[in-house]
């Protein structure tokens, strides 16, 4: 379960603090994968980072019960001066998983070759994404947070990534941001629409997509 209690987050726009998330009290239960929809700039990525613990709220709190991933489309949590392997070792200690097992898994999965032992600051954005995705797949989470990315790399790597991700979701849920309704339909059953700082939950994803499309037409 993920619970928001009077959650408020401001962003600075043209010298004014605008509430991108405004006094939200909300529960995301276990058992259904959820698509997060909203117009550009609505705060979807910000909300994911708040749920992950990367960003703090200005008011309110987040209650997390379960193991929650970082946003899979976000690579800012890596320490650039450390190698990919060293970053993986750090993650293993934080999440309490077998270090050598995770190091070996990511080495095989991410296919970074010699770069695995090079500083992350030397990586391309695609290499960072592969490292982040590999680490995420190597740790079993209750919730996977996905921000516009489920696979990177060439066709074979994408196919492998999608296969492993769907295997993980047999026992886990996903909270996914995507502008592609077809992608959301592949992974999600329910939907949340973020509009004007407020969240509306829909038990059926199609209802959420319809509500979002109506918002966009207004």
**Lowest-pLDDT range of 31-40, 117-126, 143-152, 198-207:** 143-152
Does 88 lie in the same domain as 10? no
Number of domains present in the structure of the chain: 2
Which parts of the chain fold into alpha helices (H)? 44-52, 84-95, 99-110, 125-138, 155-168, 181-187, 205-217
- 76 assigned to some structural domain: no
pLDDT at 159 over 90: no
pLDDT exceeds cutoff 60 at 189: yes
CA distances from 178 to 121, 145, 188 (A): 27, 11, 11
> Which residues have C-beta within 8 Å of that of residue 32, sequence separation ≥ 6?
173, 188, 189, 190, 203
Choose the weakest-confidence range: 89-98, 107-116, 127-136, 204-213: 127-136
Do 156 and 119 lie in one domain? The reply is yes
pLDDT tens by residue, 29-81 = 889 999 999 999 889 999 999 999 989 999 999 999 999 998 876 666 789 99
Whether 11 and 90 map to the same domain: the answer is no
Same domain, 38 and 56: yes
pLDDT digits (tens, 9 = 90+) for 165-174: 889 999 999 9
The whole domain housing 62 covers 2-69+176-217
Six-digit token pair at 66?
Answer: 């379960």
Regarding whether 161 and 90 lie in a shared domain, the answer is: yes
Q: Are strands 173-177 and 34-37 parallel, antiparallel or unpaired?
A: parallel
* Distances 107 to 39, 117, 164 between C-alpha atoms, Å: 37, 10, 15
CATH number at residue 212: 3.40.50.300
Q: Is residue 104 part of a domain?
A: yes
User: To which H or E segment does residue 18 belong?
Assistant: strand 16-28
């Amino acid at each position: 379960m993920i619970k928001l209690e009077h959650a408020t987050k401001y962003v600075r726009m043209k010298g004014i603090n605008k509430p991108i998330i405004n006094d939200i009290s909300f529960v995301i239960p276990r058992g259904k994968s959820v698509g997060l929809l909203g117009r550009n700039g609505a705060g979807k990525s910000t909300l994911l980072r708040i749920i992950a613990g990367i960003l703090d709220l200005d008011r309110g709190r987040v209650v997390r019960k379960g193991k929650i991933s970082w946003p899979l489309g976000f690579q800012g949590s890596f320490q650039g001066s450390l190698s990919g392997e060293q970053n993986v070792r750090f993650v293993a200690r934080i999440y309490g998983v077998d270090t050598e097992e995770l190091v070996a898994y990511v080495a095989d999965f991410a296919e970074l070759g010699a770069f695995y032992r090079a500083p992350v600051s030397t990586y391309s954005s695609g290499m960072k994404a592969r490292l982040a995705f590999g680490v995420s797949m190597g740790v079993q989470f209750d919730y996977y947070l996905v921000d516009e990315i489920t696979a990177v790399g060439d066709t074979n790597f994408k196919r492998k990534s999608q296969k492993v991700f769907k295997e993980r979701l047999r026992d886990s849920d996903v909270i996914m941001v995507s502008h592609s309704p077809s992608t959301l339909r592949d992974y999600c059953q329910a939907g949340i629409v973020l509009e004007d700082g407020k969240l509306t939950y829909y038990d059926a994803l199609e209802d959420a997509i319809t509500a979002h499309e109506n918002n966009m037409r207004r």
